Amino acid sequence: MSEAMDMKLNRLPAITWYWLKMNEAKLAGVETGSESEIKAEIPAGIEAAETAENPLSSQPTGMGKDVTALVEAGTKGVYTLTAPKNRKAAEAARLTFAYNDGANAVNAVNLVLGDNSEMTVIMDYTAEKEAAGFAAVQTKVAVGKYSLLRLVQVVRVGEKFTFLNDVGGRCEDNGRVEIIHLFLDGHDVYQGCQIDLAGYQSSMKTDIAYLVKNDAVLDMNYFANHTGKKTECEINVNGVLRDKATKTFRGTIDFKKGASGAVGNEKEDVLLMDEGVHNQTIPLILCAEEDVVGNHGATIGRLDESLMFYLESRGMDREAINEMLAGARIDALVAQIPDAAAKAEISEYVGGGNTSDDD
């Protein structure tokens, strides 16, 4: 039995004028999917299990309740990776989601870190270049005291694919999560990410890079929820829009009352390369606490004129310069992937077929 859902996703924690059409994203007629197979490479020290019950079911996520409902409707359980207390796993765990043409897949993943542990997880979402289909993956994380989660999620699904990547998690005292998000391919990609910085001195760093081209759409909603004291967040977004691409970035730093000593920094840099692009940016800072420091910045548009001049004086033409710098943004983040094998693979994927227009 599958009922089509009309979904609302990626809603801003504080909405603004409706005529801007930026408060949230909508998807109509989404049919319930079924669980897809996850190809997993688990290193020693990390426990993998499939459980029927989801102990993190009440954890809010960036995309919202509708995605949770969609995922719960289509899955029988949740795939959980656990780093036990005091275990610092040296190697990364690799989860690959390979989608076929015509897919309608949903998955629920939990990443749980016991106190004093460390885990690196690479989640790779792939499909054939011409594949059309739908998939949604909801990842919930629980970061224990003094533990560190490095999470890399790479979206390189088909050019006609619709993909929902939802993340939600909570950090305990001195817990830290470092996220890398790479948006390399896909037609309609929705990304939500909410991290609750609840524990004392817990922190979050998120680095995002994207390249959206043709008539693809990328819709994002990041939310750093500071409730603990001396918590820190850093969100860096670097992207390129080409052709007739559309991109919406919502980034919220929320200093709740009591989060004294908290620091939040958010920076978005978007390179617009063709006249048909459409960029929407809405960086929010919400604050109910005096003793905080919050900064956000955004630069949108073309390359700096003086930089252009410098490169042109070295013999490059504008088009070549744009190509080079556009690729550079993605490459810079790929270089930070904390796993050699994954880094090499993604590097090749990016270098191979991603920077030029289709022909």
Residue 287 in the binding site for other proteins (CB under 8 A) = yes
- Interface map 293-322 toward other proteins (x if CB under 8 A): xxxxxxxxxx--------------------
Nearest approach in angstroms of CB 257 to other proteins is: 6
Choose which of 68, 139, 231, 279 interacts with other proteins (CB under 8 A): 279
Residue 214 in the binding site for other proteins (CB under 8 A) = no
Residue 274 in the binding site for other proteins (CB under 8 A) = yes
Tokens (6 digits) for 345 = 């693979």
Residue 241 in the binding site for other proteins (CB under 8 A) = yes
* Contact predicate 230/47, CB 8 Å: no
Per residue in 245-266, is it b (16+ CB within 10 Å) or e — as a string? bbbbbbbbbbbbeebebbbbbb
The region of 49-57, 139-147, 213-221, 272-280 touching other proteins under the rule CB under 8 A is 272-280
Choose which of 29, 52, 102, 275 interacts with other proteins (CB under 8 A): 275
Residue 232 in the binding site for other proteins (CB under 8 A) = no
Tokens (6 digits) for 32 = 């319930």
Closest CA to 331 of 196, 240, 217: 240
Residue number, 132 or 285, with CB nearest to other proteins: 285
The region of 72-80, 183-191, 209-217, 270-278 touching other proteins under the rule CB under 8 A is 270-278
Find the binding residues for other proteins in span 60-119 (CB under 8 A): none
* 339 SS3 class: coil
Residue 325 in the binding site for other proteins (CB under 8 A) = no
Residue 348 in the binding site for other proteins (CB under 8 A) = no
DSSP string, 179-220: EEEEEEE-SEEEEEEEEEE-STT-EEEEEEEEEE-TT-EEEE
Nearest approach in angstroms of CB 42 to other proteins is: 42
Nearest approach in angstroms of CB 348 to other proteins is: 29
Tokens (6 digits) for 194 = 């909410």
Choose which of 96, 281, 336, 354 interacts with other proteins (CB under 8 A): 281
* Contact predicate 157/127, CB 8 Å: yes
Residue 20 in the binding site for other proteins (CB under 8 A) = yes
- Residue whose entry in the numeric block shows the structure tokens 């993340």: 167
Closest CA to 79 of 41, 103, 59, 108: 108
- Rg of the chain over CA atoms, in angstroms? 20
Residue number, 22 or 122, with CB nearest to other proteins: 22
- Side chain identity, residue 297: G
Nearest approach in angstroms of CB 359 to other proteins is: 21
Residue 38 in the binding site for other proteins (CB under 8 A) = no
Nearest approach in angstroms of CB 250 to other proteins is: 9
Whole-angstrom distance, CA of residue 350 vs CA of residue 345: 9
Closest CA to 213 of 191, 236, 186: 186
Per residue in 102-132, is it b (16+ CB within 10 Å) or e — as a string? ebbbbbbbbbbbbbbbbbbbbbbbbbeeebb
The region of 44-52, 75-83, 103-111, 267-275 touching other proteins under the rule CB under 8 A is 267-275
CA of 185: how far to CAs of 58, 209, 220, in Å? 31, 12, 15
Residue 32 in the binding site for other proteins (CB under 8 A) = no
Residue 277 in the binding site for other proteins (CB under 8 A) = yes
Nearest approach in angstroms of CB 181 to other proteins is: 21
Number of residues interacting with other proteins: please give it, by CB under 8 A.
43
Q: Which residues bind other proteins (CB under 8 A)?
A: 14-18, 20, 22-23, 241, 255, 257-258, 260, 272-275, 277-302
